[in-house]
Amino acid sequence: MQNNQQKIVLIGGPGTGKTTIINALKTKGYHCFDEVSRAVTLKAQQQGIEQLFLTEPLLFSEMLLKGREEQYIAAEQLTKDLVFFDRGIPDVHAYMNYFKTDFPSVFLEKSKQYTYNLIFHFSPWKEIHTTDNERYETFEESIAIDTYLLQAYADLKYKIINVPFGTVDERTNFIIHSLSCDL
């Protein structure tokens, strides 16, 4: 187990550039965990369920919670000083709050049990927002979801650093530079 490992989460509404930056961090040699929801959505679509989150939000969220918990545990087995996550465990209950869906207390308990060192926030950015087979939210929905994400992490007393708009290199370098200043 890596006790001094720094766990870094990228958060923000859908289509804000998180996955692009995760991929850029990978090319620079950082260990990154991909967003779990795409895999869950694709698996459901292969089973004939177009949008599992819309049809069974609690089941979808339970699957996300399990996947993100597994990622966290896997990260602790690594011998890496820094590990990045495309979304964190608190994202799950933030989305449930956005959709005004009741959820079991274990969602909050897991958010408190598995903690991160630093949170980088990506604000909604209309110029880069797109939708696809797994990301169906409009830009306006992305803004609303972002509010719930920020609230969930603030409620858990996390320090949140906003990543400024810019090129992929500028945003990636901002994160790397911030880590040397904040950790």
Domain locations along the chain = 6-182
pLDDT at res. 1: 46
- Residue-averaged pLDDT of the chain: 87
Q: What share of the chain is helix, strand, coil (3-state, %, to 5)?
A: 50, 15, 35
Protein fold of 6-182: Rossmann fold (3.40.50)
| Contacts within 8 Å (CB) and 24+ apart, 23-30 | 24/168, 24/169, 24/171, 24/172, 25/84, 25/172, 25/175, 28/172, 28/176, 30/82, 30/83, 30/84
Angle CA(154)–CA(7)–CA(108) in degrees, nearest 5?
45
Report the predicted TM-score, pTM, of the whole model to 2 decimal places.
0.89
**Tokens 């906003």 — which residue?**
162
Measured distance CA(13)–CA(64) in Å, rounded: 16
Region of poorest pLDDT, from 57-61, 75-79, 155-159: 57-61
Query: Which of 30, 104, 16, 92 is CA-nearest to residue 61?
Result: 92
The pLDDT tens digits for 3-31 are 689 999 999 988 888 999 999 999 999 99
Residue 133 has pLDDT above 60, yes or no: no
46 vs 120, higher pLDDT: 120
- Predicted confidence band of residue 122 (pLDDT cuts 50, 70, 90): very high
Helix (H/G/I), strand (E/B), else coil: 147: helix
Q: Are 147 and 105 in contact (CB under 8 A)?
A: no
